[in-house]
Amino acid sequence: MAQLFFKYGAMNSGKSIEIIKVAHNYEEQNKHVLLFTPAIDDRDGVGWVSSRVGLKREAIPIDEDTNLFQIVKDSPIKLSCILVDEVQFVLKEHVFQMAKIVDELHIPVMGFGLKNDFQNNLFEGSKYMLLYADKIEEMKTICWFCEKKAIMALRVDENNQPVREGAQIQIGGNDSYYPVCRKHHQNPPL
């Protein structure tokens, strides 16, 4: 039975490498998948899922006008799974489209992303994935500064100092964010 999955974790928890692995596993069995990623994430160019360990995979970019349901419905090949990276950046309507893919087309959809931003607020996409997903799974990693589980993201500036204000979305990697526990989100040893 098809379900909507939300796999979330802090930075460096292996979300992008997991999505590439899932796609590979389906395709190794001659099953077809579609990968999507928000166009706003252009670290390695628009339309690419890439992990910090160097694996990359082309994906369909999502912008505010993208209709995921229509793309999947119009696919000329039988699809076995839909994979969405950086799902925190999608809009509420995109999450509804993912649920419609599951409910009407009977194709499982797996969304991978962050749950909360650097101020510990939910992203729009994450909020609606938490509300509508059939299954929610946390992907774990450890705090940059200790051995506790990382549950938040600490944004830092070019001088490696904590940033507490600003736009919710700022694309970046280890140069801009650290995965941290609650204690080190409040009091990072920088």
Structure letter (DSSP) for residue 98:
H
Give the DSSP H/E element, type plus range, for residue 34.
strand 32-38
- Rounded to an integer, what distance in angstroms lies between the CA atom of residue 24 and that of residue 19? 9
- Rounded to an integer, what distance in angstroms lies between the CA atom of residue 157 and that of residue 139? 26
Question: What is the pairing mode between strands 4-9 and 109-113?
Answer: parallel
DSSP notation for 138-158: EEP-B-SSSSSBP-EEEEB-T
Single out the catalytic residue among 27, 28, 58, 86: 86
Taking every pair of Cα atoms in the chain, the longest distance, rounded to a whole number of angstroms, is 53
Is 124 assigned a catalytic role? Answer: no
Would you name the residues annotated as active-site residues?
A: 86
